[in-house]
Amino acid sequence: MNYEKNARIINDDIFDLVNKCFSEEKSSRNIESRVNFFDTYNDYFVLTDDGSYSINSKEINHKIETLHTSTGAISESFEKFIKPMKFDYSKNIAILDICAGLGYNSSAAIADFIKNSNAELKIDMVEISKATLACGLLVPSPIKEHDITKKAIEDELIKQDYAALNIEKCEIPSNIDIKIFIEDARKTVQNLDDNTYDAIFLDPFSQNMAPELFSLDFFKEFRRIIKDDGIIATYTSSAPVRAAFIECDFYIGQGPIFGRKQGGTLASPNPLMLDTSIPKNDEIRIALSDVGIPFKDPGLNNSSEYILEKRSEERHKARHNTRISSAVKTPIFLNCEMDDEKLKRRVERNLVKMNIPSTTSPEAKYIVECENNYEKKQNDKNNSRNRILDMQKKLKKIKVKIKDK
Ligand SMILES: C[S@@+](CC[C@H](N)C(=O)[O-])C[C@H]1O[C@@H](n2cnc3c(N)ncnc32)[C@H](O)[C@@H]1O
């Protein structure tokens, strides 16, 4: 499979224009094509609410996403990726920036680090598309630290014979080491050392566009390369993503809300690094219903389509068998009185198939018992991960009873 060709990257129009710009730079050795690009092709960039620019993705299944939220591209980096980190700035810090794009997340990390630390910062940026990194050189820098990232990008693009000229004048501070991997992040992670990173920024397109970057098998590598107190931040609140973190031995917590209705997701091997539980109903659905079945990518080399299809098949098999049906959000009604008779009939039809006679039966109460202790502020004992595992264990017990009959 030629994954690089099919990868979800920036849209074809700007992709072609950027490639043309840098190929002209190489042949003419003239700075004009790069320095005039933004003014000439301004319309291809998307202005976000904080004044920073984004770009549109390729069209996949009739859908286009922008690389960043319209609420503010650079603000999103600070709010979702930097604020939830609990960096100990008296020590050296190592960050893995997956899906580095225009380099905003790394630039925000550099800005925060320079403000707070005299130690050393190592950033490994991973991005599959040279043209996208090159776009990072073409957009106006939203913060001055973006010039540091631009310098690192330019150096790498020259090394890889994509760009030709040293136009970026900013010097990379001697205590900051930026390495850029231009390849599929699934390949990169397999070659990284154990126990290395204080933070992983995970910023792909959505799970339907790029499920391969949210899979169980990808997160297993994260578990190996992250430090025990490290934190992974991602913008999505998706159930299969959170479920995959749990299956890979991470604790999970709610990330900051910015530009969306729901908070993103934080994951860490250490529960004390994560303050806020995910919402109660999300815990219940992840633990008990087929939405909590993660994306799987054995071998870390499957196509997005294959991964989506396999998960659909697995969900279908699990429904009414090992998992409660996710239809009408059935599991969230466990231990609830229901007034809506029609909905109740649908819910209880699904529950009966799992040996749970009704929403208020002892079985129903038993399975979600731990949710009586739900607290938004989580700690090392009472937290989303432990509750999810507890509910899964209990659902299994109830289901085993049915098999024994
Ligand atoms: C939402 S954007 C990231 C925005 C970025 N974090 C920033 O600060 O500008 C997603 C990025 O993932 C990149 N990408 C897609 N598939 C990838 C893969 N398999 N490995 C690495 N990067 C990938 C795309 O080219 C795109 O730039």
How far does the centroid of ligand 1 lie from the alpha carbon of residue 224, in Å? 22
Q: What angle do CA 326, 208, 52 make, to 5 degrees?
A: 125
Cα 204 to Cα 180, 218, 234, distances in angstroms: 16, 13, 9
Residues with CB under 6 A from ligand 1: 7-9, 67, 99-105, 126-129, 132, 184-185, 203-205, 210, 213
Place of tokens 């109660």: 280
Q: Is 403 exposed, middle or buried (0-12, 13-18, 19+ CB in 10 A)?
A: exposed
Q: With the CA atoms of 363, 368, 372 and 377 taken in that order, what torsion angle do they form, in degrees rounded to the nearest 10?
A: 170
Instruction: Answer for the pair 192, 96: CB distance below 8 angstroms, yes or no.
Output: yes
- Degrees, nearest 5: CA angle 73-79-80: 90
Q: Is 280 exposed, middle or buried (0-12, 13-18, 19+ CB in 10 A)?
A: middle
Helices 130-138 and 146-159: crossing angle in degrees, nearest 10, is 140
Taking phi over 0 as left and psi of -120 to 50 as alpha, with beta for the rest, 328 belongs to left
- What pLDDT is recorded for position 12? 81
**Is a pLDDT exceeding 90 seen at residue 41?**
yes
CA–centroid distance, 214 to ligand 1, in Å, is 13
Q: Which residue has the tokens 């990008």?
A: 153
Q: Classify residue 73 as exposed, middle or buried by CB count within 10 Å of its CB (0-12, 13-18, 19+).
A: buried
pLDDT at 403 over 70: no
- Return d(Cα 386, Cα 249) in angstroms, integer: 11
Closest protein CA for atom 6 of ligand 1: 100
Q: How confident is the model at residue 405 (pLDDT cuts 50, 70, 90)?
A: very low
* Residue 79 to residue 87: CA distance in whole angstroms: 15
205 C-alpha to ligand 1 centroid (Å): 7
Is the torsion defined by CA of 345, 347, 348, 353 positive or negative?
positive
Please give the number of the atom of ligand 1 that sits closest to the Cα of 213: 19
* pTM for the whole structure: 0.96
| Secondary structure in 3-state letters for 58-105 | CCECCECCECCCCCCHHHHHHHHHHCCCCCCCCCCEEEEEECCCCCHH
| Nearest atom in ligand 1 to 68's CA | 1
What DSSP string describes 175-215? Answer: TEEEEEE-S-HHHHHHTSPTT-EEEEEE--S-TTT-GGGS-
Kindly report the protein residue whose alpha carbon is nearest to atom 2 of ligand 1: 67
Residue 292 vs residues 51, 153, 303, 322: alpha-carbon distances, Å? 37, 38, 21, 11
Per-residue confidence at 24, pLDDT binned at 50, 70, 90? very high
Atom 5 of ligand 1, residue of closest alpha carbon: 101
Atom number, ligand 1, closest to the C-alpha of residue 184: 20
Beta-carbon contacts of 187 under 8 Å, excluding residues fewer than 6 positions away, are 300
Is 404's pLDDT higher than 60?
no
Q: How far is the CA of 128 from the centre of ligand 1 (A)?
A: 7
Question: How many A from CA of 203 to the centre of ligand 1?
Answer: 7
Residue 155 pLDDT greater than 80, yes or no: yes
The alpha carbon of 375 and the centre of ligand 1 are apart by a number of angstroms equal to 35
Of the residues 52, 68, 107, 127, which should be mutated to test ligand 1's pocket, given the most ligand atoms within 8 Å of the CB?
A: 127
- Distance from the alpha carbon of residue 127 to the mean position of ligand 1, in angstroms: 6
pLDDT, tens digit, 9 for 90 and up, residues 172-186:
999 999 999 999 999
- The pLDDT tens digits of the residues spanning 322-381 come to 999 999 999 999 999 999 999 999 999 999 999 999 999 999 999 999 999 999 999 999
How close is the Cα of 172 to the center of ligand 1, in Å? 23
pLDDT reading at 1 higher than 60 = no
Residue with CA at minimum distance from ligand 1 atom 24: 9
What is the rounded average pLDDT of the residues 108-123? Answer: 98
Q: Which residue's entry shows tokens 């790394």? A: 106
**CA-closest residue to ligand 1 atom 27:** 101
Across residues 179-202, what is the average pLDDT? 98
CA-nearest residue for atom 4, ligand 1, is 101
Per the structure block, which two tokens stand in for 199?
A: 């933070």
**What is the pLDDT confidence band of residue 2, given thresholds at 50, 70 and 90?**
low
d(CA 402, ligand 1 centre) in Å: 46
